[in-house]
Amino acid sequence: MKKYSFLILIVIMFLNGCGTTAKFTYPAKYQNLAHLYEQPKYNLTVAVLPFDDMRGDVNSMGGFYLYLIPLVPYGSMKYERPDSARFFNTINQFEFNVTEDLSKAVVVSLQRSGLFKDVFFTFGGEKASADLIMKGKILSVDWVGKIYSYGLSIVGPALWIFGLPCGSSYNKLSLEFELNDKKPSKIWGYTLIKETTIVQGYYYKFGHDVKSYASLMEEGMNEAVKDLDNKLGILYSVGSKK
């Protein structure tokens, strides 16, 4: 009985992450952000508004307890809104103001790109002073976590101590951007879709359940910035807006 109690304690520690709270911090690495021009290519200012939240609202952890059934290899949890969840693999919760944080991430990437004279975030009051308006929709910020029992039910966690994976975390980020002029006319649109899965254990990736969202946004924005540069190159002749 004491042996099983110890294994249960291991599971609880793994899943609760010792009360750890993760926070969305952008960028993952500033030096990795696309830097296209040393001086602003266009003498234009861009206002970025908070994005519309179009995600689903299903946060389910019902599949988690399947790991207790013998011969079932893992249990799973799926969150469409991980920012509202309180139960992950190795963390306790995720601080993420999705509509505001992702909008501000766009601001950082656009500022770093060197495309524009100025880029700023606004709730709407200052947008009249901008030449261009960036809007967006958040389609998904999905998280899927799995805890591995290797079909051994409650005995499975004993293998974690020896370095076998405890579980995995899947992060998906999907957004739509739209850049408008003052007419207003849409001059650019882009869909960002990025996803990744990490395998976690006591000795690796512990506490990284939601860490990939920042790097996914970084990768996606680097691609988006280059696409925007190409689009603007067609719309504006060189020097016409300088």
pLDDT at 242: 43
Residue 28 forms part of a structural domain:
yes
Contact 148, 73 (CB under 8 A): yes
What is the predicted pLDDT for the residue at 6?
52
- Give a yes or no: residue 114 inside a domain: yes
Helix-then-strand count for the chain, H and E: 3, 11
What separation in angstroms does the CA of 115 have from each of 54, 112, 119, 158? 28, 8, 9, 54
Give mean pLDDT, residues 202-228: 96
CATH number of the domain residue 136 falls in: 3.40.50.10610
pLDDT digits (tens, 9 = 90+) for 12-25: 555 555 568 899 99
241 is a domain residue: no
Q: Are 46 and 126 in contact (CB under 8 A)?
A: no
* 240 lies in some domain: no
Residues 6+ apart with CB under 8 A from 79: 58, 59, 60, 85, 142, 143, 144
Confidence of residue 235 (pLDDT cuts 50, 70, 90): confident
The phi, psi pair for 76, rounded to 5°, reads -145, 155
**Which residues 6+ apart lie within 8 Å of 93 measured at CB?**
21, 22, 85, 86
- pLDDT of 16: 54
3-state helix, strand, coil in the chain (%, to 5): 35, 30, 35
CB 87 within 8 A of CB 12: no
- Which of 195, 169, 196 has the alpha carbon at shortest distance from 87? 169
- SS3 call for 2: helix
pLDDT at 88 over 90: yes
CA distance 164 to 18: 20
* Residue 225 pLDDT exceeds 80: yes
**Does residue 242 form part of some domain?**
no
- pLDDT at position 239: 46
Q: Which domain holds residue 208?
A: 2-235
Q: Specify if 204 maps to a domain.
A: yes
Domain-located, residue 157: yes
- The residue to which tokens 């998280």 are assigned: 143
* Ordered alpha helix ranges (H), the chain: 2-16, 98-113, 212-235
Per-residue pLDDT band for 155 (boundaries 50, 70, 90) equals: confident
**Which amino acid makes up residue 74?**
Y
The pLDDT of 59-80, averaged and rounded, is 92
Longest dimension (CA), the chain: 78
* Predicted TM-score (pTM) of this structure: 0.89
pLDDT mean across residues, the chain: 90
pLDDT at res. 215: 97
Share of the chain above pLDDT 70, in %: 90
pLDDT of residue 158: 85
- Total number of domains in the chain: 1
